[in-house]
A and B are shown apart, each in its own frame.
Chain A
Amino acid sequence: MILTRCAPLALVLALVPAAQAAHAGQAAVDVGEGKKLFQGMCGRCHGIDGTGDEGPNLARPTLTRATDDESLRAIIRDGIADRGMPRVRRMTDTELDQLVAYVRSLGRSPTATSTGNAQRGGEIYTRLGCASCHIVQGQGGSFGPDLTEIGASRGPSYLRQSFLGPAEMLPQGSSPVPGRGFSEYLPVHVVTSDGREVRGIRINEDPFTIQLRDTNNRFHSFRKSDLKQFDKEFGKSLMPSFRGRLSDAENEDLVAYLASLRGAK
């Protein structure tokens, strides 16, 4: 039946619930049972694999409403009324532990087993000028994605692909803007009715308007009805491909560096 919207993207400040009785440090939690519970209780809104449907994507390294296991447990136990997340039913402590463990396993890449050297990778990162467009630990340009936590959410193959062939793998729906499942950093090209041409990345969009940042990182906002031309350039990226510009060993070093970026120290 229904399953209308469960919860819109829930990226707000974290809940800080009162800490519950201790249940840490107990016997190993059965993540497989958590997966089964998840599919029965949660999959309807969050997608059967937790990557989001009408409810938000949970396959992310950081859940902003559930920064620790206690807060995640409280959300599963009580729901989030103001986002439309129901309390599905009363769970046992064991079930809650299993669900927490399973949800935590989503969106966490195992510590990278890259063959590269992260320190050399960091030097390559600097040499290539990646910081002109990317922020790490607060430093760098803001045109492209912030990479401070990228190693916590993405595995080595994704990271390798992201600089060898970025156009083939634009990130999708990991941010509340432009929204659930949408391609982020999508190149757009517009020509206004008075002939002005702007190329940039889509920041947000609705049926009537488009917001973008041009290659100089300046915001533009247009009503679509004022545009002579409006193209969303799927399959392209404004990030250059580094395919063929580095040796295989250097590629792996860069992967190792990116994989080492796992959030604030």
Chain B
Amino acid sequence: MRATVLVLIALSGVTALAQVPYSRIAAADKTPADWLTYSGTYQSQRYSPLTQITRQNVAQLKPFWIYQVRRTGIVETSPIVSDGVMYITEPPSTVTALDVRTGRPLWTWTPAIPPDVRVIGSPPVNRGVAILDETVFVGTVHGHLVALDAKSGAVRWDTIVDDNTLGYYMTCAPLALDGKIIIGVSGAEAGIRGFLDAYDPKTGKRLWRSFTIPGPGEPGFGTWGGDSWKTGGGSSWLTGSYDPELNLLYWGTGNPGPDWNGDVRPGDNLYTCSLIAMNPDDGRIKWHFQFTPHDVHDWDSNEIPILFDATINGRARKLVAMANRNAFYYVLDRETGEFLVGTPYAKQTWAAGLDAKGRPRLLPGTDPSTEGTLVFPNIQGASNWPSPSYSPQTKLFYQPAREMGTYFFKGESKYTPGDPFVAGGGRAVNGDDAWGAVRALDATTGRMKWEFKLLTPPWSGLLSTAGGLVFGGTEEGNFFALDADTGKPLWDLQLGSAVKANPISFGVDGKQYVAIAAGYSLYVFGLP
């Protein structure tokens, strides 16, 4: 690798006036020594252009430093690295800045979270921060969006996004755009009405709110029976993507509420289980694509939408792809939302396929029932929050795939503000009857090129690199590198606890490193 290039990049970052201006995030692929936004770039490819760690030398990887989190809980953080500092989150909503050369803490900030905080639908976790200019932004489990000074951790502002006593909370990393911070919310299991918000990075003032559930008079309102829209769910709990040229923000939405009994919400339930493309200047929805109309299996569509350009049927297209929790891989035209490709990438037993517009052709007998209905994929889905990766080098979409079924049960649920609103549940088919894989899909067709089998459905995301590698982790605690072309395992190390986080890569003093959290530790690996 061009050590000198990395050194220059690092130096230029230090001398910049605004630490991380928007222009730097928009060109993040040009400064690969840093990792400036949740998925690496606005295209969310979780791909590192760094080339020092290769197929030939990856077996020599050694720990560079290890940081052990001070807080308890599940560590799902995806670090941000800029100008010699790594910003991570610790459960449930702590932000810690680390010296990227040593792992020594520089500051840490923990919000005062009330003891009766409502975190319904997931463990109390956090997946990362956003950085813009000289400020770091974090969403908390008690529903606040907080701006912290990047140098000291001091609070610049603290804004309540919405009422946690009604079940609104945050786990995802915000997305920093030009002059705005975008944040999504969790809470569909408490019957919230989901939305996406934009805030002024300087003041914390809300710039706009775009509901994921249309209200009276708005397009899509007719897809909700009665008053069901008021508790319709449609959370926005994972970080989306952005196309600066089209000026479109792409964000996935979650399940309708209640989860497993759709009788009380007849209709397609827009815009749940959808990908929405919106103008980030005003939050207006330009197009939407609903993957699972009237979902009754809890198959949120919050998964990471990856942006890439390719030729499909002889035509150059700007594309967005998602390996959906419902087990289908989708490719859409990201200018128009036109459905182009949809094909299963994992076992599914609920649809006979997709029609010409991408709408699933449902199989009978797959709804939840009082006696339990076995359906694949399971409640947590064939995919979930762990990130996929796209390599512009191989043109492959790498997906951590989960092969698992659930007996889905239908129940009753009366809406009580701030209580679980789920109406059913599941009994997992796990252990030796479940498994997982890293799958490499041809990004334009979804056809599998190779897979690397895992013992257990994974909760680790993937990173691809220009060194021809794919990094990932396992529930059993392995961290590994595969050949990006063939899936051949090239290196693995037992980290001592399950990997439930996303890997990143960055550079320090001309050397490339890879970071991953596992258990209570954040590990950084490099060549000797």
Interface residues of A (CB under 8 A from B): 1-8, 39-41, 43-44, 47-49, 51-54, 78, 81-90, 172-173, 179-183, 186, 205-209, 225, 232, 234
Contacts and interface: CB of A to CB of B under 8 A. Distances in A.
A221 to B, nearest CB: 11
Interface in B352-381: 372, 379-380
Interface in B412-466: 413, 418-420, 422, 424-434, 452-456, 459
A51 B123 contact: no
Nearest to B411: A39
B411 to A, nearest CB: 6
B290 interface: no
Contacts of B427: 47-49, 51, 53
Given A6-B123, A40-B413, A85-B123, A53 B426 contact: yes
A90 B459 CA distance: 30
B420 A53 contact: no
Contacts of A234: 432
Given A39-B411, A86-B119, A172-B431, A1 B73 contact: no
Contacts of B406: 53
A93 B233 CA distance: 29
A84 B187 CA distance: 17
A206 B477 contact: yes
B140 interface: no
B420 A88 contact: yes
A70 B120 CA distance: 24
B376 to A, nearest CB: 15
Given A1-B189, A7-B123, A84 B424 contact: no
Contact of A173 (B115, B189, B380, B430): B430
Interface residues of B, number: 71
Contact of A2 (B91, B171, B432, B474): B171
B434 A181 contact: yes
Contacts of A5: 74, 123, 459, 500
B124 A81 contact: yes
B387 interface: no
20 contacts: A1-B186, A2-B186, A2-B237, A2-B254, A2-B300, A2-B385, A4-B122, A4-B123, A40-B413, A44-B425, A48-B424, A48-B426, A78-B115, A181-B428, A181-B429, A181-B434, A205-B455, A206-B494, A207-B454, A207-B455
B418 A81 contact: no
B223 interface: no
A227 B490 CA distance: 17
Contact of B430 (A53, A205, A225): A53
Given A3-B298, A206-B474, A87 B430 contact: no
A53 B120 contact: no
A182 B459 contact: no
A43 B121 CA distance: 11
A40 B420 contact: yes
Contacts of A83: 73
Interface string B42-81: 0000000000000000000000000000001110100000
Mostly, the B contact residues are loop
A173 B115 CA distance: 33
Contacts of B255: 1
Interface of B: 72-74, 76, 91-92, 115-125, 171, 186-189, 233, 235, 237, 254-255, 298, 300, 302, 372, 379-380, 384-385, 406, 409, 411, 413, 418-420, 422, 424-434, 452-456, 459, 474-478, 480, 489, 492, 494, 498, 500
Mostly, the A contact residues are loop
A173 B413 CA distance: 30
Contacts of A181: 428-434
Given A44-B422, A47-B427, A181-B434, A3 B116 contact: no
Nearest to B475: A179
The 6 closest A-B pairs by CB, nearest first: A181-B431, A82-B72, A84-B123, A206-B476, A48-B425, A181-B430
A89 B120 contact: yes
Contacts of A82: 72-73
Nearest to B258: A40
A1 B420 CA distance: 12
A234 B431 CA distance: 13
Contacts of A86: 119-120, 122-124
Contacts of B453: 207
A89 B280 CA distance: 35
Given A48-B427, A208-B478, A4 B385 contact: yes
A53 B384 contact: no
Nearest to A209: B494
A2 B124 contact: no
A53 to B, nearest CB: 4
Given A5-B459, A87-B116, A89-B419, A44 B431 contact: no
Contacts of B384: 2, 4
Nearest to A173: B431
Contacts of B189: 1-3, 44
A129 B125 CA distance: 50
Nearest to B434: A181
B31 to A, nearest CB: 31
A179 to B, nearest CB: 7
B137 to A, nearest CB: 21
Given A44-B121, A84-B73, A39 B425 contact: yes
Given A3-B379, A81-B124, A86-B124, A207 B474 contact: yes
**Which one of A54, A83, A186 has the highest number of Cβ atoms from chain B below 10 Å of its Cβ?**
A54
Given A47-B427, A179-B456, A183-B431, 16 more contacts: A1-B189, A1-B233, A4-B76, A4-B500, A5-B74, A8-B498, A47-B425, A48-B372, A53-B427, A53-B430, A82-B73, A85-B123, A89-B420, A179-B475, A182-B432, A234-B432
B118 A89 contact: yes
Contacts of B74: 5, 84
B302 A43 contact: no
B107 to A, nearest CB: 22
**Which one of B186, B427, B459, B477 has the highest number of Cβ atoms from chain A below 10 Å of its Cβ?**
B427
Contacts of A43: 422, 425-426
A89 B116 contact: yes
Contacts of B434: 181
Given A47-B425, A47-B426, A181-B430, A84 B254 contact: no
